Amino acid sequence: MRYGLALPQFGPHCDAAAIASFVRSAEVLGYQSFWVGDRVLAPVDPSDLYIAGGTPERPYPPEFKKGLDPIVALTVAATASSRARLGMSTLNATWHNALLLARSLTSLDNVATGRLDCGFGIGWLRDEYTGTGVPWNDRGGRLDEILDVLDALWNHNPAEHHGPRFTIPQSYFDLRPVQPGGPPVLLAGAAPKALARIGRRAAGWLPVSGIPFDVLDQLWQLARRAADQAGRDSSALRRELRVNPAPGQGPDHLAALAERAERSGMDGVFFDLQYTTGSPDEAIEVAAQLASTIGFA
């Protein structure tokens, strides 16, 4: 199982100058993947509470008030690393123009020499859709069409697309991704429709810890059945588990959780230490202890 870390990106960890040294230190420790998230607004009076425990008094983590652009952060990590995979958990693809997103991701896959994993979600905060000018009620269909555009541009040249939201005239796209067919696309979500979409057309799933493993296993079977029904190889699907440690959960607790994830068949697990440490340097110290406890340092 592959072990990874979230990049310094939010709150007191929002330090672009720290990304390169963080990545180099983590690769030396043995970490094999680096991940980013995606936030564009921290509303004063938010339309929705954070899905992972938001309350009226604390509607979302205060760290969300300051955050680096995820593609910029991954670009820095790509130039500072040599082996690790680079992923998104998640990029809210639905906020983007499909053509411009394809150009950015193809460029990033080139910078990363073919180490990019595209992790997409659709978000939870309606205010962010208002701010980006995208209809909230259309987000599922918009994600499907963005996947159609990426598939066309990554697999055909010339390529074109004619859909209800995006129209791309037949055009040459000589900038090709390093990975044949484009970077693997992993999708988030826990609703049956989301798992079915993963099975039909994604390379894998981005679950989040906190859901009991037996429930995660049941949800995973929905994706596998959808893949089988679509004539795809369900055994080729991947799972990369995000772990958001809570205060007081030290290396022993996280190592036990990682062991349980491996028994469950997860292909990778990564830890987001931004909410339980005060700086990138402190996060690397904790990551070193965790790597030693798990036994891959």
pLDDT at 188: 98
Identify the CA nearest to 149 among candidates 138, 163, 136.
163
Q: What is the mean pLDDT of the chain?
A: 97
Average pLDDT over residues 166-189: 98
222 pLDDT more than 90: yes
> CA neighbours within 13 Å on the CB side: how many for 121?
20
What lies within 8 Å, CB to CB, of 92 at 6+ separation is: 38, 120, 121, 122, 123, 128
Between CA 111 and CA 130 the distance in angstroms is 32
Query: Residue 189 belongs to what domain range?
Result: 2-294
CA 140 from chain centre, in angstroms, equals 17
9 pLDDT more than 90: yes
Identify the CA nearest to 183 among candidates 63, 262, 91, 96.
91
Q: Which backbone phi and psi does 269 adopt, to 5 degrees?
A: -140, 140
Residue whose token pair is 């310094």: 8
pLDDT in tens, 185-221: 999 999 999 999 999 999 999 999 999 999 999 999 9
> Burial, 83: exposed, middle or buried (Cβ in 10 Å; 0-12, 13-18, 19+)?
exposed
Average pLDDT over residues 19-42: 98
Number of H helices, E strands in the chain: 9, 11
27 pLDDT more than 90: yes
CA 260 from chain centre, in angstroms, equals 21
How many independent structural domains does the chain possess? 1
182 pLDDT more than 80: yes
- Fill in the DSSP letter of residue 93: G
pLDDT in tens, 223-258: 999 999 999 999 999 999 999 999 999 999 999 999
Between CA 236 and CA 255 the distance in angstroms is 26
pLDDT at 297: 73
For residue 275, the one-letter residue type is Y
pLDDT in tens, 123-148: 999 999 999 999 999 999 999 999 99
> CA neighbours within 13 Å on the CB side: how many for 284?
18
pLDDT at 187: 98
pLDDT in tens, 94-103: 999 999 999 9
C-alpha torsion 33→34→35→36, nearest 10 = -170
If one compares 77 and 52, the residue with the highest pLDDT of the two is 77
> For the chain, where are the alpha helices, taking DSSP H only?
16-29, 70-80, 98-111, 126-132, 139-155, 192-201, 213-229, 251-263, 280-294
Written as one string, the DSSP assignment of 233-261 is: -GGG-EEEEEE-PPTT--HHHHHHHHHHH
Residue 78 · residue 111 · CB < 8 Å? yes
CATH code for position 33: 3.20.20.30
What is the band of 175 on the pLDDT scale with cuts at 50, 70, 90?
Answer: very high
Average pLDDT over residues 156-160: 98
Residue 175 · residue 107 · CB < 8 Å? yes
